[in-house]
């Protein structure tokens, strides 16, 4: 716990969930880590029928016990556990594994990339034609994902099938590292949000909170759609790891949001118009506690908040993000100070909602 009553960002947790595999539809390993962490911190913990992890935690009463009566709005905090990856679709006679992408992976980054397949993490590399066998005009082109394959060093179908199977997921073979304030790892979209959410439940929150670590966000915001119906919150704040806009050579005013400049707030993306009054409450909390914020570029991307907002009779919703470079790629970067600021900002917002939200 930090001196000012704000929970501390749990970097240890970010490291372990970043390293764990969790492609959309196969989030079990990540969920197990989060469930073990959350169990003794919350009032109830369940896995819903879609696979999302749902934890309820009542606010603190003055005598330290859980407060029974309603104190402020019931807030759903949501971060998705799943990451983009690959799924094995066929194993060929020569031992090669064909795959399809799960979620948005840019085919430009695939050739030569190392992956870990299945729960046991069988290693493989994405193979493609050697340059001297590629025609000159084709060398300038990106190889379509359909023409690539995973090579696990097997010489036959039998040898490959002893280790992997059709339907297995594959994740980038990347290990978490710390370089100064920068953290490198895979799946920061959205393990950064998952770790921020986990950090927030280290003590009883100022308002009733239901924490949802959702599934299948990258393939259509599915887990949160079902969870929102189940939870029926008064408000929702979605915690994300979002793409940095830093691009060398681009005009300065286009290079936002940027890593290290604080949590990014969403006004609008393809799934959501952020609720104006909730956004005001977040900005107000940032101002009062001198926390840095920046804008996410409007008009692009989409998050679970879009589905939560239109659930039932509607839920005022907003998104607070840790800005990451190179998301949906083998190794993303984030600044650990941004992660702490995100924890602080959401905590301070919850404090203000207890007083201000009708």
Partner 1 sequence: MSPRSSASPLDTLLPSLSEAYGPPGRETGIRRALGGAIRGLGSAKEDALGNLNLSLGGKGKRVLLTAHMDAPGIIVTRVDPAGLARVSILGIVSAADLIGASVALNGGGARGVIGWDRPKDGKDSREIDPDQLFLETGLGGREAAKRIAVGEVGALADRAERIGELWCGSNLDNRAGCAAIVAALKGSGSPRRKAAGSPRNELHVVFSAQSDLGARGAATSAFGIAPDVAVVVDVAFVGESRGHGDIALGKGPCVGLKEEGYLPHPLALEYVKRAAKAARIQPQWLIRESGGSDARTVRASRAGVPTALVAIPARRTGGPRTLIHAADLEQTVQLIRQIVTTPYTGEKGSR
Catalytic residues, by residue number, are 217
DSSP, collapsed to helix, strand or coil, labels residue 323 as strand
CB of 298 to partner 1, least distance (A): 5
The residue (of 164 and 323) whose beta carbon lies closer to partner 1 is: 323
CB of 226 to partner 1, least distance (A): 15
Residue 248 burial (CB count, 10 A): 5
CB of 215 to partner 1, least distance (A): 23
Q: How far from chain centre, in Å, is Cα 109?
A: 20
Question: Facing residues of 333 across strands?
Answer: 184, 325
CA–CA separation, 298 and 257 (whole Å): 11
In this structure, are residues 123 and 173 in contact, taking their beta carbons and an 8 Å threshold? yes
CB of 313 to partner 1, least distance (A): 4
CB of 46 to partner 1, least distance (A): 24
What's phi and psi for 67, nearest 5 deg? Answer: -85, 130
CA–CA separation, 22 and 119 (whole Å): 9
Residue 241: cis peptide before it, omega within 30 degrees of 0? no
The residue (of 32 and 276) whose beta carbon lies closer to partner 1 is: 276
The residue (of 193 and 316) whose beta carbon lies closer to partner 1 is: 316
DSSP, collapsed to helix, strand or coil, labels residue 217 as coil
The residue (of 120 and 268) whose beta carbon lies closer to partner 1 is: 268
CA–CA separation, 204 and 10 (whole Å): 16
* Rg, C-alpha atoms of the chain: 21
Name 276's Cβ contacts closer than 8 Å, sequence gap at least 6.
none
The residue (of 140 and 253) whose beta carbon lies closer to partner 1 is: 253
CB of 174 to partner 1, least distance (A): 32
Question: Facing residues of 127 across strands?
Answer: 149
**In the structure encoding, which two tokens stand for residue 143, read together?**
């190889």
Q: Give me the residues that bind partner 1 (CB under 8 A), please.
A: 251, 253-254, 256, 267-268, 273-276, 295, 297-300, 309-316
CA–CA separation, 116 and 148 (whole Å): 16
Residues 287, 289, 291, 297, CA torsion sign: negative
The residue (of 167 and 314) whose beta carbon lies closer to partner 1 is: 314
């Amino acid at each position: 716990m930090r001196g000012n009553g704000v929970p501390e960002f749990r970097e240890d947790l970010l490291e372990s969930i970043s390293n764990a595999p969790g492609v959309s539809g196969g989030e079990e390993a990540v969920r197990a880590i989060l469930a073990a962490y959350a169990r003794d911190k919350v009032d109830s913990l369940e896995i819903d029928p879609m696979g999302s992890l749902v934890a309820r935690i009542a606010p603190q009463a003055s005598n330290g016990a859980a407060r029974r009566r309603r104190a402020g709005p019931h807030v759903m905090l949501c971060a998705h556990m799943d990451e983009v990856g690959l799924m094995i679709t066929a194993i060929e006679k020569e031992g090669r594994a064909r795959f399809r992408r799960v979620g948005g992976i840019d085919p430009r980054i695939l050739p030569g990339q190392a992956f870990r397949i299945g729960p046991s993490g069988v290693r493989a590399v994405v193979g493609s034609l050697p340059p001297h066998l590629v025609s000159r005009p084709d060398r300038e082109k990106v190889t379509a994902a359909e023409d690539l394959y995973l090579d696990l060093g097997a010489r036959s179908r039998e040898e490959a099938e002893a280790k992997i199977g059709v339907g297995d997921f594959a994740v980038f073979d990347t290990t978490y590292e710390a370089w100064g304030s920068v953290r490198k790892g895979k799946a920061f979209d959205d393990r950064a949000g998952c770790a921020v959410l986990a950090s927030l439940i280290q003590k009883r929150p100022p308002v009733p909170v239901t924490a949802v670590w959702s599934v299948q966000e990258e393939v259509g915001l599915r887990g949160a759609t079902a969870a929102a119906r189940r939870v029926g919150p008064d408000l929702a704040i979605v915690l994300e790891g979002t793409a940095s806009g830093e691009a060398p050579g681009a005009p300065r005013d286009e290079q936002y949001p940027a890593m290290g400049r604080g949590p990014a707030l969403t006004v609008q993306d393809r799934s959501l118009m952020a609720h104006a009054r909730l956004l005001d409450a977040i900005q107000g909390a940032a101002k009062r506690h001198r926390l840095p914020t920046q804008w996410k570029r409007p008009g692009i991307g989409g998050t679970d908040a879009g589905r939560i907002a239109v659930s039932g009779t509607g839920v005022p919703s907003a998104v607070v993000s840790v800005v990451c470079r190179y998301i949906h790629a083998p190794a993303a970067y984030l600044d650990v100070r941004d992660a702490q600021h995100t924890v602080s900002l959401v905590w301070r917002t919850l404090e203000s909602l207890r007083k201000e939200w009708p």
